[in-house]
Structure 1
């Protein structure tokens, strides 16, 4: 839980929350929806470190000050368009669930696309009239797309 001696230091792309001798950097959620899973894991860990995760995880209503602190920590990590969409929610749990629903849908689409790309890569064959240069170009494009989606084929 955040105490009276805790400090917040604003830096260019994220916020560092200092608690005693430990500084925890809150990650920024990308606008292009590519880092939700990593963001969620890091935010959950940081909120647990500050004793704030219970406001999201518990079924019971949490103390208003703690809920507001948790909500503020989450909101400061969001892109402006997402922030404006979730600002209407009063509890940190509602904010968290709204973000989760928004990004997990995008994550599922990304995983489906990745499966399609992998399938295309596995079935990719050189045609009889195709040059080695053309084939290697197609192969490079497939590998690059796969790597951009977080898989290392090398």
Structure 2
């Protein structure tokens, strides 16, 4: 919402909450125009905030006519006090540090969980640097990725690697493994099918041979 308001150049009406200055006698056309724009900014910002809310939340702020008052009310209600925010940050940091990837989990699934925590921290004003994200991803990977990590260390400066680049490299490894596994399964199925067919042919041949022997004996 903050980015949306900034895009329409009305965030300052929310951030400052200052009432448009009174216009004095005999104003110039430029002064009148500026005054009208300042008033319009306030109501545009107020309208944007109100229209973004559900009815249940809107009725709680409908009595407020200053966009800054609306913004502050919503911040207090949904973000809580500074102490509450600090506790949230501590809990999220703890989740971040304890997070690790399971053997049966894909790289995309794990990176999604990781970024979910990171985005919550960013919303609370806690910046997470790219190199910390890469380091966290590397130490959280299961043992089966060690060879890939070693090759990355040999070929690249990991301090310059982005999380997106790392995820792409690891997903490439996953796809290769999945392709090899599929080929092995397909080969096993083909071999089994051939064995079954061969066994069936041998059984039919044995039946024919036994029948011929019985006929010769009876003859």
| TM bracket (short chain) | 0.3 to 0.5
**Structure 2 length-normalised TM:** 0.35
Point out the structure with the larger helix share.
2
Larger radius of gyration between Structure 1 and Structure 2: 2
Q: Which has the higher contact order (CA 8 A, sep 6+)?
A: 1
Task: Provide the TM-score with structure 1 as the length reference.
Answer: 0.47
Flag the structure with higher strand content. Answer: 1
